[in-house]
Amino acid sequence: MRGAWAALNTMMQDFHATIGLERRRAEHRLASLREGLESIIEGSRWTTDDDEHDPEGSTIAFERAKIASLIADTEAELRDLEAATTRLRSGEYGICEVCQEPIADARLEALPTARQCIECVRRSR
């Protein structure tokens, strides 16, 4: 029994490290995206405000919208990672929120923020 607890503890430490690494990557990506957005906004200050008649206007508007969407996605990823950390600390990490069964280790390794087992995800589609 002691060996099983040690293995479980090691596995949870590994998941905690993985989540931390993913959080740092997402934070770095978010900072980079925000810098990119600021650069586009700053650059567009020196161009015409009339996107419709400016040949570069539609490109600038598209880039601004694309980066804003990537920022929103990254912020959502950070919220998911924080929720996974909370579940890890409370002992709920790796337990499906729907059926209360364990989530497969392979799924958690592939998607550390997983809240549902693969069977419950399939049933919900």
Polymer length of the chain? 125
* 70 and 103 co-located in one domain: no
Give residue 60's pLDDT.
80
* 40 and 89 co-located in one domain: yes
Give residue 42's pLDDT.
84
88: three-class secondary structure by DSSP? helix
Q: Which position has the token pair 């015409």?
A: 48
Nearest residue to 28 via CA among 65, 66, 81: 81
**Total domains present in the chain:** 2
Range ranked top by mean pLDDT from 2-16, 40-54, 78-92: 78-92
- At 90, the amino acid letter reads S
Give residue 69's pLDDT.
97
**pTM of the predicted protein model:** 0.79
- Residue 118's pLDDT band, with cuts at 50, 70 and 90, is very high
DSSP state of 50: -
Tokens found for residue 11 = 């596995």
How much of the chain exceeds pLDDT 90, in percent? Answer: 66
* 98 and 85 co-located in one domain: no
* 103 and 76 co-located in one domain: no
* 89 and 110 co-located in one domain: no
Contacts of 108 (CB under 8 A, 6+ apart): 15, 94, 114
Domain that holds residue 17: 2-93
